[in-house]
Amino acid sequence: MENLDGLRDEVLASVGAAADLDALEGARISALGRKGRITALMKGLGALAADERRHAGQALNALQAEVVAAIARRKRELGRGELDARLAEERVDVTLPVRPGPSGRIHPISQTVDEVVAIFGEMGFQVAEGPDIEDDWYNFTALNIPPEHPARQEMDTFYLPGAKDGSRLVLRTHTSPVQIRTMQEHAPPLRIIVPGRTYRCDSDATHSPMFHQVEGLLVDESTHFGHLKGCLIEFCRAYFGIEDLPVRFRPSYFPFTEPSAEVDIGCSREAGELKIGRGGDWLEILGCGMVNPKVLENCGVDPARFQGFAFGMGLERIAMLKYGIADLRTFFDSDVRWLKHFGFAALDIPSLVGGLNR
């Protein structure tokens, strides 16, 4: 029988040197596994003489027990070491400040534009835009508002300093001039929605010198007032998220439409509190009508062949109604506390599928 001391030293050294649990298992197998060195010696005991066998058997058993104990000890050491290593690696510094979430907010006007565009987009309308500075013809004359027409005074226009030829540029008083620009550039059929800034010399709790409107225009060969009604009723119900919202068309007058109407939605005003929905009372929210044939003509569209409908509404007004904002001027105060309260999370993307109501 070979010298067990040498074997003992080698095996214990390899156990002691095992740097991780895998290496330790390798050391165990090479000593005590089925084909291990100690196992092989034990298998060879049978070939020895009885006296020698007893002697060698005791020595081998002692060696086996010593190696098993050494492996167990090394295993505990390595286990503790691995835990320490993991703890060190995954250490969390609890004194670090909490990572702040995104703090920017979407302004309610941006949100409202997105909502309105989402609803009309579903109906096939495309977004169109035009300049904030218009000339008199686009803002008034082409829209059938001739000079000296009372509507010009009612609109409290901001005029830019006059040019030498006497023509005056204006800050557009409504988004309606974009109807003209679109019809000049594109042949019908047309279906556009125009969100944008508008300007009037007026300022109180419900007026701001700069505000926003959204204009709609649809022109086709067989368009009629029924289409206008269906489209706007659908819009009001989708925007306010009230399926049975009462919507009323009240005859009115605009120079650029004939016939014209104002649209009221149902509400209640109990105990001074305004609530949109069924309630027996009415609230005006937009103006609309069939495009005046004179306006079509002004844009080179044949009124004998084409007809259209148009509408316009104030975005602040419908945002105030939906989100309970009391004073229009607060939209433009740039008060961060206000924006935190009334603003929208950046990832709240409005869509009809996700639902437009919070």
Closest distance between ligand DAH and the C-beta of residue 142, in Å? 13
Q: Of these, 239, 254, 331, 342, which contacts ligand DAH (CB under 6 A)?
A: 254
Residue 288 C-beta: closest distance to ligand DAH, Å: 5
Selected from 257, 298, 307, 330, the binder of ligand DAH by CB under 6 A is: 257
The residue (of 133 and 346) whose beta carbon lies closer to ligand DAH is 133
Q: Are the beta carbons of 170 and 105 closer than 8 angstroms?
A: no
Distance CA 149, CA 304 (A): 26
User: Which stretch, 40-48, 181-189, 270-278, 310-318, contacts ligand DAH (CB under 6 A)?
Assistant: 310-318
Given the DSSP bridges, would you call strands 190-199 and 126-127 parallel, antiparallel or unpaired? parallel
Q: Strands, DSSP E only, in 200-348?
A: 210-220, 247-254, 257-270, 273-276, 281-291, 307-314
**15, two tokens:** 């156990």
The answer to whether residues 140 and 169 touch, using CB atoms and an 8 Å cutoff, is no
Choose which of 114, 215, 264, 316 interacts with ligand DAH (CB under 6 A): 215
Distance between alpha carbon 202 and the CA centroid of its chain, in Å? Answer: 34
Closest separation in Å from C-beta 260 to ligand DAH = 6
Residue 297 Cβ vs ligand DAH, minimum distance, rounded to whole Å = 17
Residues 138 and 177 sit within 8 Å (Cβ to Cβ): yes
| CB 120 to ligand DAH: min, Å | 13
Q: Does 310 bind ligand DAH (CB under 6 A)?
A: yes
Which residues from 317-336 bind ligand DAH, rule CB under 6 A? none
Near ligand DAH by CB under 6 A: residue from 108, 188, 255, 287: 287
Question: What letter does residue 223 receive in the DSSP assignment?
Answer: -
Whether the CB-CB separation of 227 and 159 falls below 8 Å is answered with no
| Span from 44-52, 87-95, 274-282, 286-294 in contact with ligand DAH (CB under 6 A) | 286-294
Tokens read off for 127: 């977004």
| Torsion 104-107-113-115 (CA) sign | positive
**Residue among 144 and 257 whose Cβ is closer to ligand DAH:** 257
User: Nearest 5°: CA angle at 189, between 305 and 243?
Assistant: 115
Residue selected from 130, 177, 312, 350 as contacting ligand DAH according to rule CB under 6 A: 312
Report CA torsion sign: 279, 280, 281, 284.
positive
What does the per-residue mask of binding to ligand DAH show for 138-177, with x meaning CB under 6 A? Answer: ------------------------------------x-x-
- For residues 82 and 129, which CB has a smaller minimum distance to ligand DAH in the complex? 129
Cβ proximity to ligand DAH, 112 vs 176, nearer residue: 176
294 in Cβ contact with 177 (< 8 Å): no
Contact 144, 292 (CB under 8 A): yes
- Shortest Å, Cβ 194 to ligand DAH: 9
CB 169 within 8 A of CB 182: no
Name the residue nearer to ligand DAH (CB basis): 25 or 297: 297
Q: Residue with the closest Cβ to ligand DAH? A: 312
- Of the pair 256, 331, the CB lying nearest ligand DAH is at 256
Interface with ligand DAH (CB under 6 A): 174, 176, 215, 254, 257, 287-289, 310-312
